[in-house]
Structure 1
Amino acid sequence: MTTEESTDTRGVRLSAGDVELTVAPDSGCRVGSLRIGGTELLRQGPKFGSFPMVPWCGRVEHGQFRNGGRSHQLPVNAPPHAIHGTGRDTAWRTVSADSATAAFTYDLADPWPYRGRVTQTFQLTPDSLTTTMSVETEDESFPAQAGWHPWFLRNLPGDSAGTAVEISFQPDWQEERGENHLPTGRRIEPRPGPWDDCFGMSQGVDVTLTWPGRLELKVASRTEWVVVYDEQAEAVCVEPQSGPPNGLNTLPRLVTPIDPLEIAMTWSWRRLG
């Protein structure tokens, strides 16, 4: 299947070997399903799967940010903050798709105050999924972020023993979280979970999820920021992103006509037992 600038309400299905991936462009271009050997890895539902965070990641304090001398107000959708960008709530266009690869795009618009284009691609193999995202502008420069928010099932279907996933990673630091749920700006020694916290990995994100006896999945990205969230019973989240929460204010990354924001993430897996 190959399409040109269309919208697919049924979802775009990719496959490689016994691995099946479904992307839902009309639902924020999220991965709605990832099945390996028939086993679903992602929490199901319209708010879950794995969604892109763009043009910002995590929370923006009070929904406010500045670009030079201009101040902007975003919708406060997680009071008192704005959270996770606009891309997850937008219908994307399917640019191209075949059996194992696909590309999607959408144009930035209100409530984001700047014009630009976001592109997301997927490449599936029998043992990996590589996803890329870019934010471009042909007009004004603006700060932006990009990343992903996957909801991995804590317990895989068919696990009668109730064995929960194990999270393994070695961050260089943890961003201290304030009472307002935002980083304070202090880097501290990593603390044990449960987490809803941002960590720094200076050599790139490298986090391993293990469902004992079933599957090992590695989340990797060249970016150095990752949020780990494991406070829900149903799922755990490992979120590579181009900057920390509230980064539009504390660590702005400027997108310019000659310097787009680009980020990539790879999930790779192997079967156990």
Structure 2
Amino acid sequence: MPELKAGDAKLSLHPEMGGGIAGLWVDDKPVLRAWSGKAEDGPFALASNILVPFSNRIDGGFSFQGTFHAMAQNMDVDPLAIHGDGFQKEWTVLSATEDEAVLHLSNGAFGPFAYEARQTFSLTSDTLTNTLTMTNRAAIALPFGGGFHPWFPRTEETRLQAIAPDHWPEGEGSLPSSGRPQQPPEDFDFSSLKPLPSRWINAGFSGWDGSARIEQGRGAVSLKLSSNTLTTAIIYSPEPDCGFFCFEPVSHPVNAHNLPGMPGLKVLESGESLTLDMRLDWGS
């Protein structure tokens, strides 16, 4: 597993487990919830997962340009296609220096999607930048998307601020209960710094301005999360005592392939590419 270092910051990668992040620490304090260290726990026990060629769930398949494309279940714990296949495949290390690594996936394939992808991890003493580029290798145009799935520590001191006014309420099967976003309930409105809700949250928010503030108190590293390319966020945490929460910067709402207008998805012709980014900044 490649390890990058810059000042007091240390990043551990796990190319064999979906090109994910195993851990990120600053002065030995966690920025992300560290990997369990057990392969049998699966990829979602990592500190961060990559989502490609789509984010979250697709309900059975989707129609595009007059053709229906079936999307099969890819995890035993969920009956729907979820998060693509990038997080389930081994990535190749193309290069690794003390503070930068490049990973490559040559055989992305899920339903109609055939693609290759590249991740760059750039570490400084104050920041981590994770960039994902996917290239359509199918013979047809397809609606691509993706993003990042970091797992953050959650304690009684954790606070979140993120401006994202359009809430996609979770319905049956963790799919949006409506074809249009709504105003979030008060405890799901993070326009000001506040604790996470005391109930289950697993919902999408669009209209995100690309910046989120995470305050962690004494137990973990506080930071700013940002993106220049992503305008949707998925926030997930089962309960206050679960020990983690996810703030996932992604390109599109859940099941966007079946929502009106396919919001947030990018149609790539064969050979075209899409680049997405996430930056964690604990020095600002």
TM-score by length of 1: 0.85
SS at 2:113's partner residue? coil
- For residue 75 of structure 1, report the CA deviation from its aligned partner: 2.5
Opposite residue 244 of structure 2, the aligned amino acid is A
C-alpha offsets along residues 99-148 of structure 1, whole Å, 9 cap, x if unaligned? 11111111244444332211111111111111111111254321221111
SS at 2:130's partner residue? strand
Q: Percent same amino acid among aligned pairs?
A: 26
- For residue 270 of structure 1, report the CA deviation from its aligned partner: 3.8
The aligned residue for residue 269 of structure 1 is 282
Counterpart-to-counterpart distance in 1, 2:150 and 2:92:
21
The aligned residue for residue 54 of structure 2 is 56
The aligned residue for residue 153 of structure 1 is 153
How do residues 174-189 of structure 1 correspond to structure 2 at under 5 angstroms?
174-183=167-176, 184-189=178-183
- For residue 80 of structure 1, report the CA deviation from its aligned partner: 3.3
User: 1:108·1:114 contact (CA, 8 Å) conserved in 2?
Assistant: no
User: 2:86·2:108 contact (CA, 8 Å) conserved in 1?
Assistant: no
Counterpart-to-counterpart distance in 1, 2:232 and 2:123:
24
- For residue 66 of structure 1, report the CA deviation from its aligned partner: 2.5
The aligned residue for residue 158 of structure 1 is none
User: 1:136·1:256 contact (CA, 8 Å) conserved in 2?
Assistant: no
Larger CA deviation: 235-244 vs 209-218: 209-218
Larger CA deviation: 142-151 vs 170-179: 170-179
Change over 3 Å in CA distance of 1:89–1:165 after alignment to 2: same
Over 6 Å off, 4+ runs: none
Matched, 1:216 2:209: no
- For residue 263 of structure 1, report the CA deviation from its aligned partner: 0.8
The aligned residue for residue 73 of structure 1 is 70
- For residue 70 of structure 1, report the CA deviation from its aligned partner: 2.4
User: 2:53·2:113 contact (CA, 8 Å) conserved in 1?
Assistant: no
The two structures, once aligned, show a CA RMSD in angstroms of 2.0
The aligned residue for residue 248 of structure 1 is 257
The aligned residue for residue 29 of structure 1 is 19
- For residue 43 of structure 1, report the CA deviation from its aligned partner: 3.8
How many residue pairs match? The answer is 252
Change over 3 Å in CA distance of 1:144–1:240 after alignment to 2: same
Gaps of 5+ in 1: 1-10, 156-162
Opposite residue 170 of structure 1, the aligned amino acid is I
Opposite residue 226 of structure 2, the aligned amino acid is A
Larger CA deviation: 192-201 vs 52-61: 192-201
Counterpart-to-counterpart distance in 2, 1:111 and 1:172:
32
How do residues 1-273 of structure 1 correspond to structure 2 at under 5 angstroms?
11-40=1-30, 41-45=32-36, 46=42, 47-48=44-45, 49-62=47-60, 64-76=61-73, 77=75, 78-138=77-137, 139-155=139-155, 163-183=156-176, 184-191=178-185, 192=187, 193=197, 194=199, 195-202=201-208, 204-213=209-218, 215-222=221-228, 223-232=230-239, 233-250=242-259, 251=262, 252-257=265-270, 259-270=272-283
User: 1:215·1:270 contact (CA, 8 Å) conserved in 2?
Assistant: no
Gaps of 5+ in 2: 37-41, 188-196
User: 1:137·1:260 contact (CA, 8 Å) conserved in 2?
Assistant: yes
TM-score by length of 2: 0.82
User: 2:108·2:116 contact (CA, 8 Å) conserved in 1?
Assistant: no
Counterpart-to-counterpart distance in 1, 2:113 and 2:252:
19
SS at 1:185's partner residue? coil
Counterpart-to-counterpart distance in 2, 1:140 and 1:187:
30
